[in-house]
Amino acid sequence: MSSESKNLQFSELGLTSEIEKVIREIGYETPSPIQAESIPPLLAGRDIVGQAQTGTGKTAAFALPLLSKIKLSKKQPQILVLAPTRELAIQVAEAFQVYARYMKGFQVLPIYGGQSMGIQLKQLKRGAHVIVGTPGRVMDHLRRKTLNLSQLAALVLDEADEMLNMGFIEDVEWILGQAPEERQIALFSATMPSAIKKITRNYLNDPVEVKIKTKTATVDTITQRYWQVTGTNKLDALTRILEVDPFDAIIIFVRTKNATVELSEKLEARGYSSSAINGDMNQQLREKTIARLKSGSLDLLVATDVAARGLDVGRVSHVINYDVPYDTEAYVHRIGRTGRAGKKGQAILFVAPRETRMLRAIERATKQKIEPLKLPTREQVAGHRINQFKNKISQILENEKLESFQKILESYQQECNVEFFDIASALAFMVQSERPFVDLKPKRTLLENNKKAKTKIKNDQDSSQPRRKSQLREEHSTHAEEGMVTYRIDVGRAHGVSPGNIVGAIANEAGLDSEHIGRIKLYDDYSTVDLPEGMPADIFQQLKKTRVCDRRIDLSLMTGSSDYANKNDSNRKKKHSTKVKRVRVASGVKTDKKIKKKSNSSKENKK
């Protein structure tokens, strides 16, 4: 990175006023290295090759300058971004939408497999300035002539090496061949294998080369954990953590100014001493809030990145990333608010399924493995509250004069002829009414709701599975993490498969986010993959037909796992069976057979 780039501010890059306004609101102060090196040449119309890891801010590096050149009066696609996976396409499209907040009439459209083609056709007909898509679905639209690239000004290949690993590179080259000759290309890749270099030679015109070495940050005094956002509401998860994790003071990071106020008010309603801090606060109120945090009259501070810059409060024991930051540098800045002056600190990151990519980038940047956090159960929360209650009783017995209260209770006991134990129980009930020790009506989880079904499925499989095959599966089966179940697929090392092939096929052909795909293990003639619990039957059936390395994977449940999809499929078959039976009663066996055969034939045609 040149010395000139190091000193650049966003205001000096030549971006439009609408884009600069958003940048200030988001909290970007100075460009990251990849942004400082990429934005000027892209604004100048040059092709670029950027080598940078996920989490370095490369989405903004190409989105900000290309948006600055958009002509809003033209409704045809002017920017096309190719991304390897559905979730990355959605993520990039969302980033474009945020950056273009003040560009009146701007439209961005993500297109990917698994989404209704009809919906995409309708949106394409309405017009979009930016298209972000996976290669397969972009090819579909180009072949159908429903995507018109005649007005295309810029084409971005995001994570080109991932597209290569997932077998999309030929599709990418075909798409490049459909683009106008006069177009700008930006290619970003973490690595530069020969196939990617070939694309740069064949399709890019005298590109500027940008290579960014990711700075690593070690935070030895901070224990980092993450919670995978699942069915539990984020606010409920946060309050469970606050209940059980001992803390002194906490800074909770969110992305927007409005979110600081909303979350702070919700926490105060739940009995916590909380306050918001954001860029709209004047200096006097900001200083007052920080003074309260330092003195101990405030325990929770809900902040944006900008508002927390330079914040140094020794009693901050925890940093909670309620919203994932935009890049790894912001994460390092955030968690740096704890673990100061040699003290130990705790950092907790809430990660939605499609944000797992950023989690891995953070691990690389900090050179630390971030361990999963097991959310405290309702029983643990109740136990913690009970222990607090007992401790409070002990403290009062030791430190307070209780004679006057004893007289009141003696009087009540004589008047009402009630046991002292019953009186104490009633008082305990009164004390805990605001924060009950026990949740009398706990929400049932998917796991609890389907417990009987899972037991039945497992028993059915144990009785129907050939013994040798069952034993083979048992030998290799391992316990999947919470919320996941383990499946077997009929493709393994002998067929030349890699984890990337499996992820690519499942994510793109069946429309399942790759962040929902868990641990993958390869064996000689088959592999195992962890997928979400409660999979719908239609997705399960689609996955069974999916092909990897030119082989049908024939997805099936590993022995010892549970599968809600199979239960749904079983129910579907029962309904079909009942329908056939009714026909038989009315028309006789021969007619029934003909109808069933016709139905199967119809299904095959649909396939």
Work out whether the CA dihedral 575, 581, 586, 587 comes out positive or negative. Answer: positive
CATH of the domain at 265: 3.40.50.300
Q: How is residue 62 written in tokens? A: 């190409």
How far are the Cα atoms of 33, 252, 265, 393, 545 from residue 305, in angstroms, in the given order? 19, 10, 19, 41, 46
Q: How is residue 407 written in tokens? A: 């007289």
Can you give the pLDDT at residue 12?
A: 85
Is the same domain home to 356 and 422?
Answer: no
pLDDT top residue among 566 and 291: 291
Pairing, β 208-211 against β 345-351: unpaired
pLDDT digits (tens, 9 = 90+) for 25-50: 776 767 888 899 999 999 999 999 99
> pLDDT above 90 covers what percent of the chain?
28
pLDDT digits (tens, 9 = 90+) for 264-315: 998 988 888 999 998 788 878 888 898 899 899 999 999 988 777 667 788 8
Is the same domain home to 338 and 255?
Answer: yes
What is the distance between the alpha carbons of residues 562 and 454, in angstroms, rounded to a whole number?
Answer: 5
Per-residue confidence band for 512, with pLDDT thresholds at 50, 70 and 90? low
**Type of residue found at 324:** V
Is the same domain home to 343 and 254?
Answer: yes
Q: How is residue 34 written in tokens? A: 């990849």
How does DSSP classify residue 519? Answer: -
**Residue 23 located in a structural domain:** yes
Q: Is the pLDDT of residue 347 over 90?
A: yes
pLDDT digits (tens, 9 = 90+) for 198-254: 999 999 999 999 988 765 555 678 899 999 887 568 888 898 888 888 889 999 999
Per-residue confidence band for 508, with pLDDT thresholds at 50, 70 and 90? low
Is the same domain home to 321 and 336?
Answer: yes
Is the same domain home to 64 and 145?
Answer: yes
What is the distance between the alpha carbons of residues 496 and 312, in angstroms, rounded to a whole number?
Answer: 53
Is the same domain home to 422 and 477?
Answer: no
Q: Is the pLDDT of residue 561 over 80?
A: no
pTM > 0.85: no
What is the distance between the alpha carbons of residues 525 and 405, in angstroms, rounded to a whole number?
Answer: 76
Calculate mean pLDDT across residues 330-354. Answer: 84
Can you give the pLDDT at residue 513?
A: 59
Run of H or E including 507: helix 499-509
Can you give the pLDDT at residue 471?
A: 35
Is the same domain home to 349 and 391?
Answer: no
| Complete edge-to-edge strand list for the sheet that includes strand 527-532 | 520-522, 527-532, 484-489, 556-557
Is the same domain home to 424 and 473?
Answer: no
**Residue 113 located in a structural domain:** yes
Can you give the pLDDT at residue 269?
A: 80
Domain carrying residue 304: 222-376
| Complete edge-to-edge strand list for the sheet that includes strand 208-211 | 108-111, 130-133, 79-82, 154-157, 184-189, 48-51, 208-211
Point out the domain boundary residue: 169, 190, 211.
211
pLDDT top residue among 504 and 485: 485
Per-residue confidence band for 589, with pLDDT thresholds at 50, 70 and 90? very low
Per-residue confidence band for 66, with pLDDT thresholds at 50, 70 and 90? very high
What is the overall mean pLDDT for the chain? Answer: 78
**Residue 578 located in a structural domain:** no
> 460 near 530, Cβ under 8 Å?
no
pLDDT digits (tens, 9 = 90+) for 421-475: 888 888 888 877 666 665 433 333 333 333 333 343 344 344 434 433 333 333 3
Is the same domain home to 386 and 286?
Answer: no
Into how many domains does the chain fold? 4
CATH of the domain at 463: 3.30.70.330
HEC profile of 135-155: HHHHHHHHHHCCCCCCCCCEE
- Spacing of C-alpha 224 from chain mean position: 17
Biggest CA-to-CA distance, the chain: 97
**Residue 529, SS3?**
strand
How far are the Cα atoms of 18, 44, 84, 214 from residue 47, in angstroms, in the given order? 24, 9, 20, 22
What is the distance between the alpha carbons of residues 316 and 294, in angstroms, rounded to a whole number?
Answer: 9
